[in-house]
A and B are shown apart, each in its own frame.
Chain A
Amino acid sequence: AQTVTQSQPEMSVQEAETVTLSCTYDTSESDYYLFWYKQPPSRQMILVIRQEAYKQQNATENRFSVNFQKAAKSFSLKISDSQLGDAAMYFCAYRILNDMRFGAGTRLTVKP
């Protein structure tokens, strides 16, 4: 069975600093997709960044980047120059075909 583990229920970062959120997953498949979604309080989930497993290069979207370690089945999210608006729940997700599995989430607090 495919599982996604986020080992940090809560994280805190000072505004303008960098924070890394961890995610590991378990799968026997070789072709899949990985995502990080953000869920602000009382608002819908939005995509932050995605990574195709066949690509070795780590994805980057502005201040957000990932460290994808396929052999270790690790997919961490780095947020640089953290902003107050980054405060939210962050979910790591793994997708194969139409099956998308989410981790339990990490609540990120940004301190001014």
Chain B
Amino acid sequence: DTGVSQNPRHKITKRGQNVTFRCDPISEHNRLYWYRQTLGQGPEFLTYFQNEAQLEKSRLLSDRFSAERPKGSFSTLEIQRTEQGDSAMYLCASSTPSGGFAGELFFGEGSRLTVL
């Protein structure tokens, strides 16, 4: 296992189209996070899963955004009716329960979305 994997790495789409990103966490990690990072800013929390349960959602996650983690393995983040303001890097991270809240988040390389 080489770490957190995200696909696609880069997606260019036209405004109004739907896009879906996939995240494969490290296999033994039961916690999975999605963040959004815009140019010149730090990552902003979007949502968090523990196993298959989505336990927290940020107010940044409008109703055009939906995230799933069926069977507690990989996760998808779908954005419907994309807007130019959705252009950003979408980061996925995972962690294990060990270490509790001091535990490290392991990040993927991100999926960059460009909305034309």
Please measure, in the bound complex, the distance between the C-alpha atom of A99 and the C-alpha atom of B3, giving whole angstroms.
Answer: 22
Within 8 A of B (CB), among A23-64: 33, 35, 37, 42-47, 50, 52
Give B contacts to A, CB under 8 Å.
3-4, 31, 33, 40-45, 48, 55-56, 91, 93, 101-102, 104-105, 107-110
Please measure, in the bound complex, the distance between the C-alpha atom of A47 and the C-alpha atom of B55, giving whole angstroms.
Answer: 24
Instruction: Name the residue of chain A whose CB is nearest to the CB of B55.
Output: A98
- Beta-carbon contact of A44 and B41 below 8 Å: no
Partner of A91, one of B42, B56, B93: B42
A95 touches B (CB below 8 Å): yes
Q: Is the interface of A mostly helix, strand, loop or mixed?
A: strand
10 pairs, CB–CB < 8 Å, chain A vs chain B: A44-B109, A45-B107, A91-B42, A96-B101, A98-B31, A98-B55, A98-B56, A100-B33, A104-B42, A105-B41
Tell me which residues across on chain B come within 8 A of A50, comparing CB atoms: 102, 104
A101 touches B (CB below 8 Å): yes
Give A contacts to B, CB under 8 Å.
4, 6, 9, 33, 35, 37, 42-47, 50, 52, 91, 93, 95-105
> How far does the Cβ of B116 sit from chain A's closest Cβ, in whole Å?
22
> How far does the Cβ of B75 sit from chain A's closest Cβ, in whole Å?
15
Tell me which residues across on chain B come within 8 A of A45, comparing CB atoms: 43, 91, 93, 107
Instruction: Name the residue of chain A whose CB is nearest to the CB of B40.
Output: A104
- Beta-carbon contact of B101 and A97 below 8 Å: yes
- Beta-carbon contact of B102 and A103 below 8 Å: no
Please measure, in the bound complex, the distance between the C-alpha atom of A100 and the C-alpha atom of B31, giving whole angstroms.
Answer: 13
Tell me which residues across on chain B come within 8 A of A46, comparing CB atoms: 107
Instruction: Name the residue of chain B whose CB is nearest to the CB of A51.
Output: B102
> How far does the Cβ of A30 sit from chain B's closest Cβ, in whole Å?
14
Tell me which residues across on chain B come within 8 A of A35, comparing CB atoms: 104
Please measure, in the bound complex, the distance between the C-alpha atom of A103 and the C-alpha atom of B43, giving whole angstroms.
Answer: 8
Partner of A100, one of B41, B45, B108: B45
